Structure 1
Amino acid sequence: MMWLPPSLRALRRDVFFLVLLAVSIALAIALPSRVAGWPSLVDWPTIAALTGLLILTKGVESSGALDMAGRWLIDRTPTRRVAAIGLVAATAVLSMLLTNDVSLFVMVPLTLSMCRIARMPATRLVVFEALAVNAGSMLTPIGNPQNLFLWQQWNNGFGGFVWAMLPLVAIALALLLALTALAFPATPLEVHERGGESVDRMMLGVAALLYVPFIVLADLQYVGWGLLGVVAVFLALRRRVVASIDWGLLLTFVLMFIDLRMLAGLEAVRSFVAGLGLEHAVHLYVTGALASQVVSNVPAAILLAEYSHDWRTIAFGVNVGGFGFVLGSLANLIALRLLGERKAWGTFHVWSVPFFVVIGLLGWALL
């Protein structure tokens, strides 16, 4: 076992992974004939995109550039409250343009670097950034996978989609920024870590040069070739970067796709959903929000699209469903895994579940 990367060895103590593994075993025993089809349930382009982003982000992090950027920001930020509001707002805006997972890969390592230097509460700040990507990514069709699916499914126009989601997003972001101001004190930032200003310019340059082509290839549906190029370059120049990424996160995602899509495809589940009266907007909205808590919002959107053509209500429900429990959105899992703190799971739910309830009621009122 010692030859395995640390992230895979740590899975033995990862309760969430062990639960997913137990569900997979139970499904294999109950439905052995479907095991052969499990690979087709995994969204391999998503896994490839995550792998490439993990490698590129780890390259930037290992270069030392984030530490330098963190010190630069700290020198120009007067208080923890201002720093928190700025980071949360920037994360939300990035998620509208770069998708929620890419925004986290950019902002969480930078945030962790700042928190290490200035001793800010990293756990709470990353939790708020997870809420921020869920709130900000609701606005645009390219902000998250469920929006992209709904946008392509009904061809409702980029501007039309944004206009439909704008009221909900405005309320969610206003509430989140107000909550951020209350959650972080207006105490001055103090630098508690000095030195370490050197930057591995070659590693930073390689990661920066590969980032845009990789995103473009992923957007053009050639993510496999993009990943091959990234892996080849880093194996040739900095193979330790490839070995040090969070392989456990990737394996966890594979199990999530298998478990959640198997459960969503069960006849009992589909019959239950069909009897929920989804022709009524309120029923459709509530089902989308609550189903997301169990199977995540992307499978929930795909499932509900088979029962209703009310894309706006589906979008409201599954996007609101990204809050609440960690399973509501894959972005939640990415944020917590990048943070790497066990206590963060409890902290996340302390903030996210009440936020889900409040935004859920406000979304219902907007309908």
Structure 2
Amino acid sequence: MTNLSEVSKAKNIVIKIGSSLLMNGNRFNSIWLKSFIDDILYLKSKRKNLVIVASGAVSLGRKYLNIKKEKISINTKQACAACGQVILMKNFMRHFEARKIKVAQILLTFSDTEDRRKSLNSRETIKTLLELKIIPIINENDSVATDELKFGDNDRLAARVAQVIGSDLLILLSDVEGLYDKNPKKNKEAKLIQKVTNINSKIFKMSSSETNDFGSGGMFTKIQAAEIASTFGCKTIIMKGNTNSPISTFEKQKKGTIFTNVARKKDSFKNWLGGSINISGSVHIDDGAIKALNDGASLLPSGIKKISGNFSKGDIIEILNSKGKKLGRGISYYDSKELNLIKGKKSIYIRETLGYEGRDEIIHRDYLFLK
């Protein structure tokens, strides 16, 4: 297993910390954070560029506002996040500055990574901080995010941040050592999957709540994050975080799950497209269209067999084969209503069908990402 070398070889590393690691009961876990900073100092001594994605604002805010009931409204949750984020960063700054490390806060909304222009702006901000030897501490802006437009978990946020900065390693600190084939809390025979070379339905089944029910994000979202990271050439390691100096401990014990099934690095735009989590619909295509796409062609209406979802022109849609396997995604030139009218037809019949002159292709090859 090559976990040690993966950490050593990586230049740009995104580290995700869950709220369960930063909280000790109802209090901020300063002891754990101090030991984690030991890891950060070690990685910085190896000239690594580091970005931290940290949860915990809502939990800290609940304590600050003395809110004890389990279920709270979205507005109350946003208020908790607004209060808790201040406490979170206050603790980060106090402990990091005590070790002479400067940190900065960045709060991202869904559109800050899923909108291409905003994504580029986020990238420049993070890159500038790294050039200034400052560690960005990133969290979702839960004080303004809505359920309809939010990441929902910081695992996927961390993966998108990794894409934005072109990271080559994503570290997800977890409540457990990694992905198990069975629930280790219920099965003594459960085995740790130390290396995953292909994220498929079997892997996702292993990560289901019945098999790996850990943390607020859960193992399922960590596999989703690893899948997103793999699209732009970034490896992922899930390791046990609820121990002192977790990264150093991991390097010594070599216990964790590494995902090595990464695609070749593409240009910045296609990396953004491949890792997008804002998918509005999908199209199923025939074998002829699959061959054409693999040969470098654009997607034409004649190759489309089925359309799912309601989407608009300019939305990102998934491309599937006849069996539902994901082949890639791209930006659609037509909305779903128009596509339903012209699917299966040759491009020369688009004007006759729609009543206006449209583009020949559904997705141009320049706006297409293939796995």
TM-score by structure 2 length? 0.22
TM-score by structure 1 length? 0.22
Larger Rg: 2
Structure number with the bigger relative contact order (C-alpha 8 A, sep ≥ 6) is: 1
